[in-house]
Amino acid sequence: MSMRLAFAACALAAVAACAPLPNQRDPYARLLTPRAEVSKVIATELAFARAAREDGQWTAFAEYAADGALLFGRNGAVEAKPWLKTQVNPPKAVSWSPHRVWSSCDGSLAVTQGAFSDPDGSVGTFNTVWQRQRNGDYRYVFDFGVPQDEAPLAPDLISSSVAACDGEVGAGEPDSAVPLRVSRDGTLAWGFQTIGQGERRYVVWLAREEGWEQVVNVALAAGSAQ
Among 34, 30, 64, residue whose Cα is nearest residue 50: 64
pTM: 0.82
Question: What pLDDT, on the 0 to 100 scale, is given for residue 175?
Answer: 76
Question: What pLDDT, on the 0 to 100 scale, is given for residue 193?
Answer: 84
First to last CA, the chain: 8
10-residue mean pLDDT profile of the chain (226 residues): values are 42 37 44 80 98 96 91 66 93 96 97 95 93 96 88 94 76 77 92 78 91 91 59
Residues 6+ apart with CB under 8 A from 99: 113, 114, 115, 152, 154, 155, 158, 159
DSSP line for 78-120: EEHHHHHHT----SS--EEEEEEEEE-TTSSEEEEEEEEE-TT
Question: What pLDDT, on the 0 to 100 scale, is given for residue 224?
Answer: 57
Fold of the 3-220 domain: Nuclear Transport Factor 2; Chain: A, (3.10.450)
Question: What pLDDT, on the 0 to 100 scale, is given for residue 130?
Answer: 96
Among 122, 59, 130, 132, residue whose Cα is nearest residue 89: 59
Question: What pLDDT, on the 0 to 100 scale, is given for residue 106?
Answer: 94
Question: What pLDDT, on the 0 to 100 scale, is given for residue 20?
Answer: 42
Altogether, the residues listed in the chain come to a count of 226
